[in-house]
Amino acid sequence: MKRTPGLDPQTTLAELRRAVQQFVEERDWAQFHTPKNLAMSIAIEAAEMMEHFQWLTPDESEQALEKPSVHAEIEVEFADIMIYMLSFANQANIDISQAVISKVDRNKGRFPVGYMPS
């Protein structure tokens, strides 16, 4: 399913972090946003996303995303995961961009171009 870029090209990671932080602060939820609780919430939401694909073959999973209703449900689960990830980054003071770039650089050394898992 091809989609237009939407807000991605114009919304920064910092803006998303602020939006999530404001949401949490307005509800006084920081008291619940411990590393343990946020890590568990990320795993729970990821499991909810996996549930949509649980018994499908790889091809069927790709076809499922072509269905607007399934795509919409997956988009909601994806958003839940991202919101918890952003909350975790806020709580743990993680520079998301630096963490991702560092990991990609590390993976370049571990998995050079042409590498195929056996």
Average pLDDT for 36-46: 98
Cα–Cα distance for residue pair 54/40, rounded to 1 Å: 20
What's the pTM?
0.90
- Domains present along the chain, CATH in parentheses: 14-105 (1.10.287.1080)
* 3-state SS, residue 22: helix
Above 80 in pLDDT, residue 22? Answer: yes
Compute CA distances 111 → 2, 24, 99, whole Å: 29, 38, 18
Cα–Cα distance for residue pair 50/107, rounded to 1 Å: 25
Average pLDDT for 53-58: 98
- Confidence bin at 3 (pLDDT 50/70/90): low
Q: How far is CA 29 from the centre of its chain?
A: 20
- Is residue 25 within 8 A of residue 91, CB to CB? The reply is no
